[in-house]
Structure 1
Amino acid sequence: MTSPPSWPSWHRPARATSTPRRSASTEAPSQRDDPKGHLPTELAMKLVTGRSDVLATLQRLRAAGTALFSPNGELAAEIEGLLIGAQRFADRHGLAEVPIAIGMTGIYPDNAQFRKISTSCVTRTDLGGFDGGDVREGCEIWLRTLAVYDSLAGADGRPRFPAVRILPFIDHGWATDPEDAAMLHDPSVVERMAIIMHDASKLEEAENIRLTAAYVARFGDQVVVEGAADKIYDPADIARLKLSRDDQLSTPGAVEAFVRSTGVDLVVPNLGTEHRSVGAGRAERRYERELARLIRDRVGPIMALHGTSCLEGRVGDTAADGICKVNFYTAMAVGAGQKLYRILREREADVIDGNNLWINSESFGHDVRRRHVADVCGGMLEALGYARLAEESRS
């Protein structure tokens, strides 16, 4: 196994967590813990939110030469699929623990997830947008949904997902929006999160740094903070300013200055992928590996990669580039929706003419999506090299 990327000498040491929060168990499940073969509840699926525990998890993954798999998961079907996929992977590879992060966006323009799942939001069926919605309510619904699976056990007393460790995170906490900003600064939200992305990338560099540094100063001893190092330009600005692809990519010096000035734990640079698309057309969406390595040499292995479709599954070696967190959602969600569509189309007679209750019920679509997500999750954990955690635990 290659050595994990090293840290620059100036890198800020981990801050202590001011308020202790629950740690994930590090023990391997064993039926010897209970004469009837039941696993103790402390070995059930756990939500990991303590800052020191999150940093330790990231470091363990780095040492194993992998990165934290960080998909978004909107509601029960996607969340359950991720849990099922992670537990299957643990069983297949003999892992006592499989940590994954599950996240959500708030009012982020590309996909406002907390807003969309709130009870007052109405999505237009013509796909023209949505009306209403409450970001904080959606956040609460999501957090309480996650909590349902914490230490969940079946009728036999056996925990359903004994190896799974979930790190809840806010993806693209839109710092310039009043609703998102209120959520980001709500202590009752912060204490239930493992990682919060404070995204001020709509702003100019100086203002981005000012707001992000202020957020780290307030909450950085409680939660792992992720920041975006560059301004994201909208298409109109790209055209008006005549910005080329190279103009919009991060520079190692600017990313280092952002990390030094703000004190963030994780940083999202512009590496040319879908998330921070720097031009029109798929040809422009390309992961810049050498740039990632130059940034790694400046700031250490603290980069979060947003947008992975252009890697076409080749994400397994990005940890060597300094990537410690890999976000993922669009391909998984689209694939699940398309699979459900194909099944309903094939069974159209049952859906329409037969008025079949099973196929028209919510639980049918839920299970189709859940099983698809579980398969995708297992594939991503395989691609990222999570199996190396078994080697790391033996060393």
Structure 2
Amino acid sequence: MPIIRNGEKAREIIDKVKKTGNSLPCFCTENIMTTEAIFMGAKKFKEAQNIKGQLPLIIAFTASYEQRQQLKNYSGLSDFKEGLLAVRDDIERIARDEGQFSDINVIVHLDHAQPSDDDWMFKENKDFISSIMYDCSCYSLNDNIKMVKDFVKKHKKDFVIEGCVGEIYNYVVSNEKLEVKDIITEVDDVESYFKETGVDLVVANLGTEHRRTESALKRYRRDVAQKIRDKIGRQIVLHGASSLSCTESKNLPQDGIVKVNIWTILEVNPARIMAGEIIKNIDKILLKESIEKLVNER
């Protein structure tokens, strides 16, 4: 069946990818056009590479994650549940057994799932969502480990589970949040986190950053990724792919990265093309007086 509807089957697919020495992209979406484009791109890649059998594909979205609430944006109604119903309808339709994309196995991933706030979503959609990044990085590392460990015990059979190693905030002894911090994840922290929580995959801060449009502004710490790989194997998920150069992207599999989140390029490139087309045809859209007024305002 094109949609992988349980964690064990999704885990089998990801385990196979680990053994092949490749990295599996995880494409995030927040609208129907991006969802359809992801399927079309996967199909074209499969045909161009002459890949036989089923091609694995991960499609993801965030819910109440503060930095980007993709499900809320997916529907014009600005509602999480409406967004989930909409994206589920789209993926179910596109990936139907008798459809043109039936040779693609789809793993649906809930990214940056927030404890408590997003619980209803994965509990009510176990027959659709088969992978979760359970994000406790807003808590202290000790609390993060405890919460994720408990989540793994309860839901290991239902989902492939990712954990985010590290802390977004500094903490005092009393566990009170202080300022935001941005530091490279310690290799030893990753190793202990992976072993203690029992997660399938780990997200580490390797110097990259979400939603970067200028890759030179951030430095990918390949050396840290490789040290983590040497400790736990190819179990790393990379966020912030928009920070990478082409060469860095090609080297990810050998660095221990088994899964790569991709979203910015799916939104930025079409927006740039659209902006260019609007500028070229601006005289067909606005009156001359309106164009001159806008130019003068700049």
> Normalised by the size of structure 2, how large is the TM-score?
0.85
Is this contact kept in 1: 2:95–2:102, CA < 8 A? Answer: no
Correspondences of 1:5-20 after superposition (within 5 Å): none
Deviation at 1:241, TM superposition (A): 6.1
Q: Using a 3 Å threshold, how does the CA distance of structure 1 residues 283 and 347 change in structure 2: closer, same or farther?
A: closer
1:163 match: 103
1:317 match: 251
Residue 76 in 1 paired to residue 9 in 2?
Answer: no
1:112 match: 69
Distance 2:81 2:154 in 1: 20
1:306 match: 239
Q: Please, which of 189, 212, 221 is the counterpart of residue 125 of structure 2?
A: 189
More strand by share: 2
Deviation at 1:233, TM superposition (A): 3.4
Deviation at 1:242, TM superposition (A): 9.7
Deviation at 1:93, TM superposition (A): 1.7
* Structure 2 counterpart SS, 1:196: strand
Deviation at 1:59, TM superposition (A): 2.4
Residue 63 in 1 paired to residue 19 in 2?
Answer: yes
* Structure 2 counterpart SS, 1:331: helix
Distance 2:29 2:77 in 1: 20
1:232 match: 168
1:290 match: 223
1:137 match: 82
Q: Deviations over 1:216-259 (max 9, x none)?
A: 1111111101110111239xxxxx7696x6xx211111111111
- % identity of equivalent residues: 26
Residue 250 in 1 paired to residue 206 in 2?
Answer: no
Q: RMSD value over aligned CA atoms? A: 2.4
Deviation at 1:64, TM superposition (A): 2.5
Q: Which amino acid aligns with 1:100?
A: L
1:237 match: none
Q: Which amino acid aligns with 2:106?
A: I
Q: Which amino acid aligns with 1:218?
A: K
Deviating above 4 A after TM superposition, structure 1's stretches of 4 or more consecutive aligned residues are 240-243, 281-284
Distance 1:288 1:114 in 2: 31
Deviation at 1:344, TM superposition (A): 2.1
Residue 95 in 1 paired to residue 51 in 2?
Answer: yes
**Higher relative contact order (CA closer than 8 Å, sequence separation 6+):** 1
Q: Please, which of 159, 166, 174 is the counterpart of residue 114 of structure 2?
A: 174
Residue 330 in 1 paired to residue 264 in 2?
Answer: yes
Residue 339 in 1 paired to residue 273 in 2?
Answer: yes
Is this contact kept in 2: 1:47–1:150, CA < 8 A? Answer: yes
Distance 1:227 1:242 in 2: 19
Deviation at 1:270, TM superposition (A): 1.1
> Normalised by the size of structure 1, how large is the TM-score?
0.65
Q: Using a 3 Å threshold, how does the CA distance of structure 1 residues 61 and 76 change in structure 2: closer, same or farther?
A: same
The unaligned stretches of length 5 or more in structure 1 are 1-23, 25-45, 122-133, 154-158, 235-239, 354-395
Deviation at 1:341, TM superposition (A): 1.8
